[in-house]
Amino acid sequence: MIRLTALASFGAAFALCMTAPAALAQKVKLQTSMGDVVIELATDKAPKTAANFLQYVRAGQYDGTVFHRVIEDFMIQGGGMLPDLTEKPTRAAIPLESRNGLSNVRGSVAMARTMVPDSATAQFFINVKDNTFLDQPNARDGNGYAVFGKVVSGMEVVDKIRQVPTGNKGPHQNVPLQPVVINKATVEK
């Protein structure tokens, strides 16, 4: 009888340990001028990308930046430019983690990059619809874009942002006519 009780206690403790990572999932809140968006990071599938994003959040990189590229039926992109569209300095680029099994579906968060696969720094985008053509297996360049998280709260805010009027500003296209600012980005407990 004592062994069964001990075994039951061990089983309960084991089950708790196995569910703890899900309960401790890392989240980031973006407090924007249009409302809050909470992103849950896929630290298990995109560890380098998630760590990079968290480092930028903790450093205050995203505070005061704007969503500088908004395409209503595609995505909203931000994290690297101030309202006057000057770029904030960044750290070195990170390796592309697009072969992680995560998909560019509605609500997923991925890193923006240039044509060079390992060029992502601070800019990210939120998919406003399923964009699976950006996934590594479907990508024209064979590399795709690395998804590293998903919106778990505030998708209605993302939908408001995707509908703002846009235009051209200097060499930039699809720029919101009224800046949509990330006032503060914080790591959630």
**Between 12 and 145, residue with greater pLDDT:** 145
Q: How confident is the model at residue 159 (pLDDT cuts 50, 70, 90)?
A: very high
* pLDDT number for residue 76: 98
* pLDDT number for residue 177: 98
For the entire predicted model, the pTM comes to 0.88
Q: Residue 157: helix, strand or coil by DSSP? A: helix
DSSP assignments along 8-40, one per residue: HHHHHHHHHHHHHHHHT--EEEEEETTEEEEEE
Q: Are 65 and 80 in contact (CB under 8 A)?
A: yes
Q: Residue 142: helix, strand or coil by DSSP? A: coil
CB-based contacts of 82, cutoff 8 Å, min separation 6: 64, 65, 66, 88
Query: Which residues are 120's β-sheet partners?
Result: 94
* pLDDT number for residue 113: 98
Taking the C-alpha atoms of residue 7 and residue 155, their distance in angstroms, rounded to an integer, is: 44
Helices marked H in the chain — which ranges?
A: 2-23, 47-59, 155-162
